[in-house]
Structure 1
Amino acid sequence: MNHKMKHRIERGADMTGADDRYAAWQKKVEDQVKKRPERKAHFKTSSDIPVERVFFPSVFDNAYIGNIGYPGEFPYTRGIRPTMYRGQFWTMRQYAGFGSAKETNERFRYLLEQGQTGLSVAFDLPTQIGYDSDDVMALGEVGKVGVAIDTLEDMEILFDQIALRDVSTSMTINAPAAILLAMYIAVGEKQGVDRKAIRGTIQNDILKEYIARGTYIYPPRPSMRLITDIFAYCSEEAPAFNTISISGYHIREAGSTAVQELAFTLSNAIAYVEAAVETGLDVDTFAPRLAFFFNGHNHFFEEVAKFRAARRMWAKIMKERFQAKDEKSLQLRFHTQVAGSTLTAQQPENNVVRVALQALSSVLGGTQSLHTNAKDEALSLPSEESARLALRTQQIIAHETGVADTVDPLGGSYYVEALTDAVEEEAWSYIKRIDETGGAVNAVESGYMQQEIRRAAYETQKAQDQQNEIVVGVNQFTEEEEPEPDVVKVDEAFVSAQIERLEAIRNERDQQLVDAALDELREAAKGEDNLMYPILKAVKAYATLGEIANVLRDEFGEYTA
């Protein structure tokens, strides 16, 4: 901050203690810059006007600092890092997965060559609900909405020629998250990467599956056990891995409002922390590795406000409700994906504009990681060309707009600050109601959250049907004749090859070793032992995903909504 701006702060009303906080924050900035130098020695506009690290109002008091704070300090309204994107851009993590592990590996390597900085795996539906590719339940779905993963061999192929030492990987997997995490760890070990150095995130958020998405297997309470076992395992064995990505994204895709997305996500997070603490885990041993996943939706300013409110609320929850002491336990780190539900099959070129604006609001809101949808995803799997354009959208925002040159650029806007407060206030009201029902698990089992989302979705659809809410190219500004789009289709021939390879693995593996590992898992499931250890043993013996999931089905049962 320049001398003139510092002087203006010192003239603010009632600055008792503010100078000390400012000096402490400046020290934190200096420490951060030593660890990670800023991208440029001097930040400036195209007209050579200096861009300060962060901007403040000319007159403010302790109430302002208490509510908004400094970047990188409680309550983190303005960001979780003192220098944010001046030191390092967000991770550009494009979601990809289709067909075979080999095809998806080729797309991963292409995206990395194009400048992507992290991987994000989409799994097919059978994998997501614990079925092998040759299971009758998998018929017609293998490789359709993501990559098919049956055994450790598929995971080895998926990351062939990709050094897990150098890349972090996000995996959108929930009910069988423990199995896919075990496979990832095993691949890392085969590459010579110690599990303590392995980096990435598993979604592992089962409560939102019951609420909004539907790829659950087991009932809520044994599912919560799997999650807390992963927390405990990773706190000891894989401390650099994010053990959960608590997801508002799918809640919003199901039709919720921004406030509901925020409130229900944080209520689910509270339930996970409570469950882990009840098992005897100290909150500061696992809370620093909790991550979040939000939707970047259409209302530009509301989305910025939602992200700012989310950080402030989570910091208060962890400090006041759970008495967390570690600063990292208080920091809400989140990935954003722009809103798939807003993409239109009509006039798909319009989706390029939607995606750019949604991505921009996510960056202005301070995301740590971002996926930008491809323009053709309402029609099919994205083509290589459209996937590249989606990535280029992020790169243009990062390198050409200047929005990453200062922290929290919209902070101090009368509108944004008022909207941040309003979103927070309404979200607290929802959380209070959920607490009164006994918490998120009870609210899920009673159908409260589901009903609220259905009500909001109905109101949105009604507004669009009545043209009170305009969707360009759909209910206004339409074309009489739409050109026939080119769509990407999965080659069905790979399914036979996938099933043949699966059969070969079953025939070649040491079946006694597999049976022993599955028996050990069964006994652990009957008792209270951590399930991650026998799952990892079964994975390394080349037990299939379906075999492992079925052992747990036998012991836990299956959930019926």
Structure 2
Amino acid sequence: MAASLFEEFQPHSKEVWKNQAIKDLKGKDFEQTLVWQAEGDLRIEPYYSHEDLSSLPLDLVQGAQKNHATATWQNREKIIFSSEKTTNQLILEAIEWGANSIIIDFGEKDITAIDFKKLLHQIKLSEIPVFFKVQNQSVQLLEILSSLIPYQMKGGVQDDYLANWMSTGSLSNDSTSLLVQSIRKVQNHPQFKTIHIAGEVFHNAGANSVQEIAFTLANALEYVDQLTQAGLSLDEILNKIEFSIAIGTDYFTEIAKIRALRYLWQKVLSEGYKFEKAAEIPVTISAQTSTYFDAALTPNTNMLRATTEAMSAIIGGADFLVLHAYNATFEEDETFGKRIARNVSAILREESYLDKVNDPSAGSYYIEHLTFELATKALTLLQEVDSLGGSIMAFEKGFIQNTIAQTHNSRQEAITSGKRIMIGVNKFRFDEKPFVYEAKEAQSSTIPLLRAQRLSEVVEAQ
């Protein structure tokens, strides 16, 4: 019965569908009415079919996703270091309430002045990955850890000196040599990362998805070149890399962004570096919810944005998920906000079952096409950065900052004019308390820097 039912519906080509749509538009232009020109010069059609996949390197795109470790993800919580005892308590509480990975952000604190025995009391790094965010202190940190921990560690060091330079203007002359030392110190710790590529510095300055992919990979290639020149092999380098990106509110584009990053990284290694084992190297990606799209007013809408961002990250295949507190923008006490953030991840796993399928978007005509288009646009931009001499020279010439600024300014114009809707900001806004705008102190530098921004700032004080 079912077979005869389906026989009544003959398959139609995409051209037939398009001709019918044009007929139904009754004179309206198909391109202007139904085709969406998205950020990053992406052309989004109203309908995709299997015909759109025929020209794509689908085996390579999907193969890059299959190299992703598992369908599940680790819920990683970020904790700002205050004191050994207080921070240790916060870590243990976070683990008890659902976090299975931790970032300890030390800011500018002197690592050698911290008692790590007290800080890591009852925390075993072979069981729970702990990441230590420091500034140019990786070697000192690893020396301390090696004196305390006799077993193989999980986790890593987050010390992206290129991203730090782009946001603060500070760069040490010995950063590369210190990174080489760090990598060599943990070669016997296969699950401990020492090369952190922080793509969120571009996103939170206003970059769109194409720009974030391209500039993140440009920094990664800068590290690879510097480290190979310092004597390390590609095997030693690539196994220690973790990419970190921010996930915005454009649901499907953010899914495709993670997939495009994996595919493009393997493509660059395979074709640009002639690295035959590129497809065998897992591309580890940590995704964090966006602070750029957070709002200080009608704050509960931040929870909604964080939920869709988390879903994009998971479906896209992120290995780690970092959800910041919805109230981090406007309140010092983030206790309740962090609890909500942990619960978002837990519910998506325990009740939505998003951890049951590896690469759930595989085969989607739209997402597969969008993944490849993102990768293609990002590769073009990456090649433009390379033509300028790489990410350092492109940044010194102002190319990266100006490109991002154009996107951010365009968004600001759209949100102030009402062309772009942001719930709780320029539509359905409810001011629970008066907003006080605090201007950020300008950082001194001979070149423009990347400053973390929020899109909603432009209208919050109106």
Q: Does 1:460 align with 2:411?
A: yes
> Are the structure 2 counterparts of residues 458 and 304 from structure 1 closer, same or farther at C-alpha, using a change threshold of 3 Å?
same
**Higher helix proportion (structure 1 or 2):** 1
Q: Does 1:67 align with 2:50?
A: no
Number of residue-to-residue matches in the alignment: 391
**Where in structure 2 are there 5+ consecutive unaligned residues?**
1-48, 436-443, 448-462
Query: What's the TM-score, normalizing by structure 2?
Result: 0.78
Q: Deviations over 1:96-132 (max 9, x none)?
A: 12532322211111011112111111223x32xxxx5
Alignment of 1:382-397 (within 5 A): 382-397=333-348
Q: How far 1:484 moved relative to its partner? A: 7.9
Alignment of 1:321-470 (within 5 A): 321-326=272-277, 330-470=281-421
Q: What does residue 17 of structure 1 align with?
A: none
SS in 2 for 1:121: strand
Q: How far 1:456 moved relative to its partner? A: 1.7
Q: What does residue 80 of structure 1 align with?
A: 67
Q: How far 1:382 moved relative to its partner? A: 4.8
Q: Does 1:96 align with 2:79?
A: yes
**What amino acid is aligned across from residue 206 of structure 1 in structure 2?**
Y
Alignment of 1:69-468 (within 5 A): 69=60, 73=63, 76=64, 78-81=65-68, 84-85=70-71, 89-124=72-107, 126-127=108-109, 151-153=113-115, 155-183=116-144, 185-186=145-146, 189-190=147-148, 192-194=149-151, 197-211=152-166, 213-214=167-168, 217-219=170-172, 222-235=174-187, 238-326=189-277, 330-468=281-419
8 Å Cα contact 2:162-2:171 kept in structure 1: no
Q: Deviations over 1:29-49 (max 9, x none)?
A: xxxxxxxxxxxxxxxxxxxxx
> Are the structure 2 counterparts of residues 202 and 311 from structure 1 closer, same or farther at C-alpha, using a change threshold of 3 Å?
same
Q: Give the whole-Å Cα distance in 2 for the aligned partners of 1:406 and 1:353.
A: 24
SS in 2 for 1:170: strand
Q: Deviations over 1:308-365 (max 9, x none)?
A: 1111101111122223344576432100100012121111111111111100000000
Q: Give the whole-Å Cα distance in 2 for the aligned partners of 1:265 and 1:329.
A: 21
Q: Deviations over 1:403-459 (max 9, x none)?
A: 322222222222212211221111011111111111122112222212222222222
Q: Give the whole-Å Cα distance in 1 for the aligned partners of 2:93 and 2:427.
A: 38
8 Å Cα contact 2:270-2:278 kept in structure 1: no
8 Å Cα contact 2:269-2:278 kept in structure 1: no
Q: Does 461-470 or 354-363 show the bigger shift?
A: 461-470
8 Å Cα contact 2:50-2:365 kept in structure 1: no
> Are the structure 2 counterparts of residues 316 and 354 from structure 1 closer, same or farther at C-alpha, using a change threshold of 3 Å?
same
Query: What's the TM-score, normalizing by structure 1?
Result: 0.65
Q: Give the whole-Å Cα distance in 2 for the aligned partners of 1:484 and 1:399.
A: 38
> Are the structure 2 counterparts of residues 262 and 59 from structure 1 closer, same or farther at C-alpha, using a change threshold of 3 Å?
closer
**Where in structure 1 are there 5+ consecutive unaligned residues?**
1-56, 133-148, 486-557
> RMSD across aligned C-alpha pairs, in angstroms?
2.7
> Are the structure 2 counterparts of residues 119 and 475 from structure 1 closer, same or farther at C-alpha, using a change threshold of 3 Å?
same
SS in 2 for 1:316: helix
8 Å Cα contact 1:207-1:444 kept in structure 2: no
Identity of aligned residues (%): 25
Q: Give the whole-Å Cα distance in 1 for the aligned partners of 2:54 and 2:368.
A: 16
Alignment of 1:434-513 (within 5 A): 434-479=385-430, 481-483=431-433
8 Å Cα contact 2:311-2:348 kept in structure 1: yes
> Are the structure 2 counterparts of residues 58 and 463 from structure 1 closer, same or farther at C-alpha, using a change threshold of 3 Å?
closer
